[in-house]
């Protein structure tokens, strides 16, 4: 009997090890390469939109893709380099076109209101692309007489938190005749593997410990209760915190701010994928909390909104 137990335990460890090893070695983050704000501003591809009364300057990606042939060629080259190294790459031009086809959501150009949150065009892009990492690319062409070279910066940003997880930069060798896209490809060639190693380390950490999101809890002024209202002898803020602890990966989160009217959970670690292999974002994860609060014995009408992939807001008291 003892031998059978040991044998079963060893088999379980082997299976677990194979699964863990398979994920860390085979699974790579999905990427989307985008021109940086700096590049868009330098090249005149910016527009302004009204974010709840404040004028905000944002990149005009659609016009940039339509008017700048270098942009298409450069992003295509970087996409090719990343694909050769086994990454799944989302094509930004296609994502922009998808957004255009969904123009009914006019929120790309106009402000949104409701629960006090808004989505920028970049947030919209992230939600459509569902990429794990956004690679911001900045480049400019340097000229010395008849020769030209490319100076570049790559920034790998976590699409959920905007944290920079990898960076690379440099200047390529000068050339008399090569196209900009080719010069850029050559310039990044000796930097890209270290850059990708940074992306993979970040992704492996997410596999092991979950990805980070932010959850905000607010209340409408019209709601007569607040987060200190007791249900079954326990304050609502404690009930919500218990849910976040029970459902986050390894119970990891930070309740960085809390009053009777609001709560802020940061660094909430959530699983990367659901049981069907679909990526989980902040809205999908927080929907469980929304349903719990709406059901008995709490029966709290509430509104769930999201900002990008990584932030969800529940407002208590109304839809």
Secondary structure string (H, E, C) spanning 71-130:
HHHHHHHHHHHHHHCCCEEECHHHHHHHHHHCCCCHHHCCCCCCCCCCCCHHHHHHHHHC
**Look-up: residue for tokens 């990606």?**
61
Specify the DSSP element, H or E, that contains 266: strand 263-270
Structure tokens at 305: 């909104």
DSSP reduced 3-state for 144: strand
Q: What is the pLDDT of residues 118-173, one digit of tens each?
A: 567 778 888 888 899 999 999 999 998 889 999 999 999 999 999 999 999 999 98
**Look-up: residue for tokens 């929907």?**
287
Among 11, 1, 306, which Cα is nearest to 160's? Answer: 306
- pTM here is 0.79
Among 168, 183, 288, 197, which Cα is nearest to 240's? Answer: 288
Q: By mean pLDDT, which of 20-34, 96-110, 173-187 is the weakest?
A: 96-110
Residues above pLDDT 90, as percent of the chain: 64
**Look-up: residue for tokens 């659609």?**
62
């Amino acid at each position: 009997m003892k031998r059978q137990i040991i044998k079963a335990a060893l088999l379980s460890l082997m299976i677990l090890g194979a699964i863990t090893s398979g994920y860390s070695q085979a699974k790579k983050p999905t990427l989307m390469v985008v021109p940086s704000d700096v590049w868009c501003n330098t090249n005149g591809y910016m527009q302004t939109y009204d974010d709840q009364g404040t004028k905000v300057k944002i990149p005009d990606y659609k016009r940039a893709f339509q008017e700048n042939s270098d942009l298409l060629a450069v992003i295509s080259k970087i996409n090719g380099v990343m694909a050769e190294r086994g990454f799944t790459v989302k094509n930004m031009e296609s994502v922009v076109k998808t957004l255009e086809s969904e123009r009914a959501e006019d929120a790309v150009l106009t402000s949104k209101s409701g629960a006090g949150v808004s989505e920028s065009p970049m947030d919209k892009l992230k939600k459509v692309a569902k990429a794990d990492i956004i690679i911001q690319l900045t480049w400019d062409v340097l000229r010395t007489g008849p020769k030209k070279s490319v100076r570049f910066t790559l920034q790998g940003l976590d699409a959920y938190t905007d944290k920079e997880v990898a960076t690379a930069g440099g200047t390529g060798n000068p050339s008399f005749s090569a196209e900009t896209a080719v010069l850029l490809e050559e310039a990044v060639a000796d930097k890209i593997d270290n850059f990708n190693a940074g992306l993979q380390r970040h992704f492996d950490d997410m596999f092991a410990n979950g990805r980070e999101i932010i959850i905000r809890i607010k209340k409408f002024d019209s709601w007569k209760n607040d987060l200190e209202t007791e249900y079954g002898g326990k304050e609502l803020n404690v009930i919500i915190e218990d849910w976040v602890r029970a459902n986050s990966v390894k119970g990891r989160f930070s309740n960085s701010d809390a009053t009777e009217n609001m709560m802020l959970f940061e660094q909430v670690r959530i699983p990367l994928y659901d049981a069907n292999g679909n990526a989980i974002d902040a809205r999908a994860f927080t929907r469980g909390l929304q349903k719990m609060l709406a059901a008995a014995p709490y029966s709290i009408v509430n509104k769930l909104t999201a900002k990008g992939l990584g932030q969800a807001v529940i407002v208590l008291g109304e839809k």
